[in-house]
Structure formats: C-alpha cells, structure tokens
Amino acid sequence: MNEPETAEPGVSGAFPSLRIPRDRLVRVVGDVHGDAGAFRYAAATDRFVVQLGDLVDYGPDSAAVLTLMFRLIDEERGLFLLGNHDFKLARALAGQPIHMTPILASTLRALGPELRERAMIEIGRAPAWLRHGRSLFVHAGFHPQMLAADPPPNDLRRPEGPVARALFGEPTGRTQTDGYPERGLGWVDRIPTGLTVYCGHDRRSTDGRPYRRRGIGGGQAIFMDTGAGKGGHLSWIDI
C-alpha cells in the first residue's frame, strides 16, 4: 500500500533531510540490536526502510549496523526512529552521566571517531515518532499528542510526556521477574480508528512473528521486536 508522505523536520547542510519519499513503498523494520547480517538482508530492498529504533547493543556488530543505516540515509533510502538504546548511546558520546552497562561499553569500544561523530548527528536528529498516512511509527508506545504535533528536537535531556512514551512505553512501576521494568499496554486502547502504530521495544511475540493488538478505540498496534541480537530474529513488514 503506497501512502502519502509526511515529511519530518531535518537539518540543512551535508546530510539529507529525513523524509519518506512520496513515490516509495515502505519496509518497516523492528529492533536490530547489532544484528548486522539480518539488517543487511532487510535493507536489500527497493522499498524505503523505516527502522523503529534500537539499532545498537547486544548483537555482534553495532558498528556495522550504524554504518549501513547511515548509508541508507545518505542514499535517501531509509531513516530510523529514536530508540532508548540509541538515546543512551548519544548521551554517553556526549559525556553525560549515565549508568554504563557492559553492553553499552562494548558498543562504545567498537565505534571509531568518525562513526561516533556521525552517530551523534543522526541520533540527535532522529524523530521520536513519524506519521505516514494511516500509519504511525514509534519505538515504544503511542501517545495521543503525537497526532497533534511533530516531535521536539532531541536535546538529550530527560524525556517527558510523549517523548518518554515514544522511548520507554508505559511503565507500570513494577519490575518483572527478569529484572526489567514492567510496561503496560493501556496506550493501545487510545489509538484511534483507522490508525496502525508500528512499534518495537517490547518483545511481545509468542510465535516468532510480529504481535498485533487491537484497542478499544478502534486502532491497532503491531509490535515488531522479535529478538534480533538477543537470540531471536529480525522482523519487517512491507506496507
């Protein structure tokens, strides 16, 4: 299905603006988490690639994933949404105080100076959400305010409001048995009729395929994280 484009704010200068070309079909790609081999396969398409964030960490080659993503941007063949792992990487590169995990430390060691500089630029301008026709692309979760405004510039401060929802979903305040924060899905019920939200972040699938959930508001969410870089695989959907 070829839908009208919705341009996102970009920056002028050496790097292409971030937009979905009007005449292109789209491939939506879930969380990559350093799985460069799978991402190369997903990116081998004539469609425009919209990657839902969390390019880095866990998998064997985050540097190669970033290099490929930046090439897609340069060739105007793709873009990525801001994910919480990308956001934390940019904060680390900027020298901000963060909780340094072994996984993030490994990613940082793999990035040379040029790739670090480019990562700061691209993560700094990656949109927190992107509306495209009857679809909305976001890393973690939907907020109704996303339909009323473009995402604010990414200044690496603590996310609030819709940006926090975009990066982290809807935490319940409880911790799961695996040690990770529990996240609710009440936001799915606030998706309006006719809108499909493509997201990652939470690995909700039980059968290896993207998990679809309809809300009482008439819309639906499609969870694209199927465990790439974490023992699962990379999923994508052509729309």
220 and 191 Cβ atoms separated by less than 8 Å: yes
Looking at per-residue confidence, does 176 or 74 come out higher? 74
Looking at per-residue confidence, does 150 or 180 come out higher? 150
Nearest-5° Cα angle at 127, 44 to 108: 70
pTM score of the predicted model: 0.90
Per-residue model confidence as pLDDT tens digits over 209-237: 999 999 999 999 999 999 999 999 999 99
The CATH homologous superfamily for domain 26-238 is Metallo-dependent phosphatases (3.60.21.10)
What is the pLDDT confidence band of residue 2, given thresholds at 50, 70 and 90?
A: very low
CA distance 197 to 212: 10
Element spanning 34, H or E: none
The answer, yes or no, to whether residue 14 has pLDDT greater than 70, is: no
Domain locations along the chain: 26-238
Per-residue model confidence as pLDDT tens digits over 125-134: 999 999 999 9
